[in-house]
Chains A and B, each alone.
Chain A
Amino acid sequence: MDSPGGFGNFSYDLAHLLGGAVLVLTFGLLYQRRLTAVINTYSVQSWALAAAAAWQGWVQGSAELYVAALIALSVKGVVIPIALHRIVRRLDIHRTVEAAMGVFPSMALGVALVVLAILLVLPSTMESQVLTREDLALALSVVLLGHLMLITRRTALTQVVGFMSIENGLILGAVGVRGMPLVVELSVAVLVLVGAVVFGVFFFRIRERFDSLDDSHLDRVGEAHR
């Protein structure tokens, strides 16, 4: 397929749509209050990422990107959400997520971060291929929203989901880059797997200590423990 052009070009529009879908779902992660809903939203976000990667694979004629799409779909879209749901059931933490910030302020901040990403990426990538620069702006937005989620959420589980949504944003950026070798995608995929194991260990440690996954108990204030 030919190099994609601007608006009105089908491959460009669809890539944009899928990248946009990932971004919108990241906003969903920001305002969801129930744990199960957060996990489900993450799962759908990963599907959107898989679709975006697969479409890039088609547009760029690159088989590696299909592999990246498959990893996103199977591991992040299915396996990890199932594992997280099991943790939620096993630890019986079907409660609302405690956030440090209300819905409106976090949404407003989120929009501000997206504007920041666009202002940062678009001017500095003026001469680059159109597809890449829009994708990069979307990816950076997803990454920054993930950072926001890490900061505003108090429970370890939602922080982990925030971290994984950051990884989704990073991959969204990497797949949009024409001809980038698979190295990056593979390393991130491995990372997410390893990460999931790490967090699994952590949950149980934190659980043993505090009977909850809320890390606001972990504040050193007054050095209550010891």
Chain B
Amino acid sequence: MTEILIIVEWVRELFSAPGLVVMVPLAAAAGLAFVTDARLGARITIGAATLAFLLACALPWEPRAGLLLLVDPLAAHMAILTSFVGMTASWFSRGYVAVEAAAGRLDARRLRAYHALFQAYLGFMLMALLSNNVPATWGSIEAATIASVLVVGLPRTAEAVEASWKQFLVCGLGISMAFFGTTVLYLAAVPALGSGLPAMSWNRLPAAAPEFHAAMLNLAFAFLLLGYGTKAALAPLHAWLPDAHAEGPTPVSAVLSGSILNVALFVILRLRGLLDANAGAIAPGPPIMALGLATVLMASFSLWPRRDVKRFFGFSTIEHSGVAAFAFGLGGPAATFAGLLHMTLHTLTKAAIFHCVGRAAQLKGGQFFTDIGGLLVCHRALGLTLAAGIVAVAGLPPFGLFTSEFLVLTETVHRLPWLAVPLALGLLVGSWALAMRLISLCLGAPTPDRGPAPGLPALVPAWVHLAAVLVLGLTMPAPIAAWLAAIAGAAP
């Protein structure tokens, strides 16, 4: 039976060099489920995430297109980014989780579940990025969703249960649409590639796209865009994200911001190429741009009335996802370059912010704006790091997000000047809200401390992230620019 041969080949690929990037976190997840010692669990988490990152760094030199795994520059870039954020989040989470456990918010059993789910989430995320098989991408995103739903519900407060249930329902709807779209995409590809695996392999689809069944491709695109758009938290389908960010453990919020949205955007970007190549299909740009622009506007205005700090930054994540989607919708090497750069920098920045916010919430014993204030006065290092993060995410110089937002805007002005107006309005309103909150969080009257203050080592991951964003903002190193330009040039 050929099916069994396929599975055997898949397993063989998973244990080859690029497959290990996926296998290390997944194996760690399986092992961590049985590790009762909390300290050992934290060490294994750090070790596995670090190893996954190191392995991912070798990906650009191991291009391959197998039955299961596809390592092209785009996938390699995304995998490095995701595993980097996973690694720093695992460093960060060691101290964070210790405080949570000491405060009695996580018991030993849930701590174990936390470490295992964190690794499972990371592993499936990487699997989705490196998969060469459309249904396998779907399955990995689904599995990662389930892991994140569970981990968001871990704190077990009423709000956390509500958030994870909401996440499950909304993402379940999205993911079911994506499945239907996957089936239809296969049907669209069959006339060109014949029945069987090639018609669902990412590496074979682009070349054959011109002969796809155009009407079916349109139908598939509609479902896949809505389905993965839900995971990318694009405008009408974003409802799950703020709750999940607010209620889940903070290291998870940091990784959630980083990866699941990126993976969804990555799939949308690949899909875009298929429709571009097909003369009979609709233009994929306008729908993606419309969703992106609506997302930016919705999220930037939603930032204003927020009272919960983590929800606030959740909405900011949605806004930036919208900017990246808009850039990808715009298309062309320049806009895709800007979108990729934006996605990368936002991931790094937002993870740093969540590291700070997590520790600040522990320090002040609450995560509302009324709880946290005047950080700069009493906790200079934490306050300064958070302030730098907020300045960066608001798209202000000297940080890299200024560059990427500027590139997106100039490209919009060149090609579709009228759309630059609402886009600029959205960015401005969002940045303004961030600046206002920067004042209340970092300056102003300090609020009383109700928890342990973080030591300087707890902030190291955030510094690493912000330093990267700063360097990319001040001097874009030529190799990195060339690397991103090559990806953007190869992408549609």
Contact = CB atoms under 8 A, between A and B. Distances in A.
Q: Do A and B bind each other?
A: yes
B176 A202 contact: no
A97 interface: no
A130 interface: no
Contact of B161 (A123, A170, A206): A206
Contacts of B3: 64, 181-182
Interface stretch (A38-46, A51-59, A136-144): A136-144
Interface residues on B, range: 35 or more
Interface in A190-212: 190-191, 194-195, 198, 201-202, 205-206, 209
A199 to B, nearest CB: 9
Contacts of A209: 158, 161
B379 interface: no
A121 to B, nearest CB: 7
Interface string B391-428: 00000000000000000000000000000000000000
Interface in A146-188: 146-147, 150, 156, 159, 163, 166-167, 170, 173-174, 177-184, 187-188
B29 to A, nearest CB: 13
B6 A181 contact: yes
Contacts of B142: 187, 191
A198 B186 contact: no
Given A201-B150, A218-B165, A225-B158, A128 B213 contact: yes
7 contacts: A150-B173, A178-B190, A183-B200, A191-B142, A202-B164, A209-B161, A226-B159
Interface residues of A, number: 51
B204 interface: no
- For B143, B187, B190, the residue with the greatest tally of chain A CB atoms inside 10 Å of its CB is B187
A182 B195 CA distance: 12
Dominant secondary structure of chain A at its interface with chain B: helix
B316 interface: no
B136 interface: yes
Contact of A198 (B133, B149, B156, B200): B149
Contacts of B1: 63-64
B66 interface: no
B228 interface: no
B195 A178 contact: yes
Interface in B340-394: none
A2 interface: no
B183 A120 contact: no
A120 B219 contact: yes
Interface in B118-156: 133, 135-136, 138-139, 142-143, 146, 149-150, 153, 156
B186 to A, nearest CB: 6
Nearest to A181: B197
Interface in B218-266: 218-219
Contact of A159 (B169, B179, B219): B169
Contacts of B133: 183
A126 interface: yes
A201 B190 CA distance: 40
Contacts of B173: 147, 150
B183 A195 contact: no
B184 interface: yes
Contacts of B157: 226
A123 B215 contact: yes
A90 to B, nearest CB: 19
Given A136-B184, A179-B196, A184-B183, A195 B146 contact: yes
Given A125-B187, A184-B183, A218 B138 contact: no
A225 to B, nearest CB: 4
B354 to A, nearest CB: 21
Given A181-B197, A191-B139, 5 more contacts: A125-B215, A139-B180, A198-B149, A209-B158, A225-B159
A63 B255 CA distance: 41
B491 interface: no
B169 A150 contact: yes
